Homo-oligomer: A and B are copies of this chain.
Amino acid sequence: MSNVYPASDATRIKRHPERGSYDRDVVHAILDEALICHLACSTGQHVIAMPTAFARAGETIYVHGAIANRSLDGLLGGAPFSITVTLLDGLVLARSAFHHSMNYRSVVLTGKARLVEGRDEKGEAMTLLVDRMARGRSRETRAPYDWELDATKVIAVEIEHASAKIRSGGPIDDADDMKEPCWAGVVPLRLVASDPEPEADSTTRPTPDVPAQLR
Interface residues of A (CB under 8 A from B): 9-10, 14-15, 35-36, 38-43, 45-51, 53, 65-66, 68-70, 79-82, 84, 86, 88, 91, 93-98, 100, 102, 104, 106, 108, 110, 126-127, 129-130, 133-134, 137-138, 140-145, 148, 152, 170-171, 177-178, 180-199, 201-208, 210, 214
Contacts and interface: CB of A to CB of B under 8 A. Distances in A.
28 contacts: A10-B46, A14-B70, A15-B68, A36-B102, A39-B49, A45-B80, A46-B80, A47-B79, A48-B82, A49-B82, A49-B84, A51-B104, A91-B134, A93-B208, A94-B141, A97-B138, A97-B144, A98-B145, A98-B148, A100-B137, A141-B182, A183-B206, A183-B207, A184-B199, A185-B197, A189-B191, A189-B193, A189-B214
A86 B46 contact: no
A70 B15 CA distance: 10
A7 to B, nearest CB: 13
